């Protein structure tokens, strides 16, 4: 199954499960956004962040405590 | 040159010295907005009586009597913010926001509200409830977003200073497109009270948009509630990254930025340091994910099913898509944030600044905000976020300053510094201005230049 087919199924199903309605134009926008965001999101899942010391509540005004 | 065309600091100093009447400056500013704004749509509302009242009550602060435009992102005592949208999906009501209080207490006069990209969700400014603002350098081009109106207003010399907001580059992109100096302060340093996301955003800050660094220092100091003291930019170690963010860039932009970086290193008696900062694409995505999910606070399926029909189709669709973003990706984004903060902190042990183009191409057309890069044609939003998100994700300060023109449109260079070193960015910007003979900070768009010459 191609990516676009998966998106054709995922988007209406996900919206329906949330109870969110979308018209044709909104669906087109959502489809375009999904095509743009989803591949990098999948890459993000595979991205190795194990070198980072967790910062559960970072103080963004300061450098991290850990280097 | 009229007082209205002079820098913010000159306006303040001239009024403070009793050499100009603040009331006359206010009336001239209102007349200038009336005259030029029709072509620009930079200012979406003025309120002359409120501004006159504000002036009458203005204390003798550092901006006494100086007119300022504020982005449609904060409430004013007489006006709720609209966030550039028909409906902003968060409570909004008139009130005293932090930036308003800072301006008022400094003696400034809020003279108008600046247009912005709808819901703050774009880097171009081509979508707004009020209609898009235009770029004064070319009215058919994007002014940048989301602080589109503040940038357009300052570039067209409607005012000498404006307050923007930067959640993912939203001060620096319009500064670059419009040929201005725009400062994104260190996270948490500048006034944010009253912003509808002030209590939970980890990305957004307020900041100044001005013609040059000295003006940005003055207005930035007011917004930060402390002086961003001027110093000498000596011996700057400037980190440069050999990556898409500096190389997948339009040739003229790349050449101008590389030349400016080299000039800054030379003029400060410093050096260029090649650094590695991998995974900027992941960093940009992390920033976008965090900003988008933080912006969903209080949004429910029911709200999404009852959106104001005057919201743009793009805005409606993107809001609904945000509901589909997986929580696991946002958790991963937080891990990327931790990683990038640690990497950036380690880099700032070796360098004072990290430099790359603010945006990889000059302002694209309003009708189709696409940019042509060596890698191909892409949307300006996708291209801009690569270099813009890191500062918001990590919390560090960043500045965009003008360093050239291409096709008659400004080119912006971004400098980033370690947490709390906001003043160093301004020092470096001023050093580069001096080295360039102030050529780019004094360049005027055609719309402003013709009348300035007549004055």
Q: Could you read off the pLDDT of B180-199 as tens digits, one per residue?
A: 999 999 999 999 999 999 98
Q: Are B382 and B370 in contact (CB under 8 A)?
A: no
Closest approach of A39 to chain B, Cα-based (Å) = 11
Tally of structural domains, chain B: 1
Cβ of A43 under 8 Å from any chain B Cβ?
yes
The chain-wide mean pLDDT, for chain B, equals 96
Residue of B nearest to A53 (CA): B338
* ipTM summary value: 0.93
Strands of B123-248, DSSP E: 161-166, 181-184, 205-210, 237-241
Distances (CA, A) of B55 to A4, B19, B111, B351: 58, 17, 10, 44
d(CA B105, CA B402): 30
Mutate to test the interface with A, among B206, B290, B324, B348 (most CBs of A within 10 A): B324
Q: Which pLDDT band holds residue B297 (cuts at 50, 70, 90)?
A: confident
Other CB atoms within 10 Å distance of the CB of residue B306 = 11
Dmax over CA atoms of chain B, in Å, equals 61
Contact partners, residue B408, CB within 8 Å, separation at least 6: B137, B138
Q: Which pLDDT band holds residue A1 (cuts at 50, 70, 90)?
A: very low
Cβ of B325 and A37 within 8 Å? yes
Contact partners, residue B17, CB within 8 Å, separation at least 6: none
3-state secondary structure of B205: strand
The CATH number assigned to the domain holding B71 equals: 3.90.1300.10
- Write down the H helix ranges in B193-250: 213-224, 244-247
pLDDT at B432 over 60: yes
DSSP string, B99-166: HHHHHHHTT-EEEEEE---GGG--SS----TT----BTTBTTB---SSSHHHHHHHHTTS-SEEEEEE
Domain that holds residue B382: 3-454
3-state secondary structure of B451: helix
3-state secondary structure of B142: coil
Closest CB to A45 among B332, B338, B346: B332
Q: What percent of chain B has pLDDT over 90?
A: 95
Greater confidence (B297 vs B338) lies with B338
Cβ of B332 and A15 within 8 Å? no
Rounded to an integer, the average pLDDT of B33-50 is: 98
């Amino acid at each position: 199954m191609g990516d676009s087919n998966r998106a054709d199924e995922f988007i209406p199903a996900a919206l329906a499960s949330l109870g969110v309605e979308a018209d044709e134009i909104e669906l087109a926008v959502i489809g375009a956004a999904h095509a743009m965001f989803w591949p990098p999101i999948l890459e993000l899942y595979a991205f190795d962040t194990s070198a980072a010391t967790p910062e559960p509540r970072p103080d963004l005004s300061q450098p991290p405590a850990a280097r | 040159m009229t007082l209205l065309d002079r820098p913010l600091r000159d306006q303040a100093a001239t009024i403070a010295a009793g050499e100009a009447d603040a009331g006359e400056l206010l009336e001239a500013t209102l007349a200038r907005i009336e005259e030029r704004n029709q072509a620009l749509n930079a200012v979406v509302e003025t309120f002359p009586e409120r501004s006159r009242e504000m002036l009458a009550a203005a204390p003798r602060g550092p901006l006494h009597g100086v007119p300022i435009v504020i982005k449609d992102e904060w409430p004013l005592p007489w006006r709720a913010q609209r966030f550039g949208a028909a409906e902003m999906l968060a409570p909004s009501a008139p009130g005293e926001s932090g930036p308003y209080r800072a301006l008022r207490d400094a003696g400034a006069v809020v003279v108008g509200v600046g247009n912005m990209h709808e819901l703050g969700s774009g880097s171009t400014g081509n979508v707004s409830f009020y209609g898009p603002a235009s770029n004064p350098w070319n009215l058919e081009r994007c002014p940048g977003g989301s602080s589109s109106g503040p940038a357009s207003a300052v570039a067209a010399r409607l005012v000498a200073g404006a307050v923007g907001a930067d959640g993912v580059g939203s001060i620096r992109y319009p500064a670059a497109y419009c040929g201005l100096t725009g400062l994104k302060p260190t996270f948490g340093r500048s006034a944010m009270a009253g912003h509808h996301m002030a209590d939970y955003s980890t990305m957004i800050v307020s900041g100044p948009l001005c013609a040059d660094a000295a003006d940005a220092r003055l207005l930035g100091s007011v917004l930060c509630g402390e002086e961003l003291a001027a110093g000498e930019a000596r011996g700057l170690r400037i980190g440069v990254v050999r990556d898409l963010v500096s190389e997948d860039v339009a040739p003229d932009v790349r050449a101008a930025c590389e030349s400016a970086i080299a000039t800054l290193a030379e003029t400060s008696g410093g050096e260029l340091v090649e650094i590695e900062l991998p995974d900027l694409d992941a960093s940009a995505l992390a920033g976008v994910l965090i900003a988008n999910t933080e912006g969903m606070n209080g949004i429910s399926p029911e709200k999404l099913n009852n959106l104001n029909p005057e919201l743009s189709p793009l805005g409606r669709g993107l809001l609904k898509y945000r509901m589909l973003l997986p929580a696991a990706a946002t958790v991963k984004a937080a891990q990327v944030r931790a990683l990038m903060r640690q990497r950036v902190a380690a880099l700032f042990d070796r360098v004072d600044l990290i430099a790359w183009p603010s945006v990889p191409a000059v302002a694209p057309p309003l009708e189709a905000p696409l940019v042509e890069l060596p890698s191909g044609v892409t949307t300006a939003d996708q291209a801009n976020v690569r270099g813009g998100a890191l500062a918001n994700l990590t919390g560090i300060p960043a500045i965009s300053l003008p360093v050239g023109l291409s096709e008659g449109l400004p080119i912006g260079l971004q400098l980033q510094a370690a947490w709390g070193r906001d003043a160093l960015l301004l020092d470096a910007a001023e050093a580069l201005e001096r080295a360039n003979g102030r050529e780019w900070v004094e360049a005027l768009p055609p719309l402003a230049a013709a009348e300035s010459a007549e004055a």
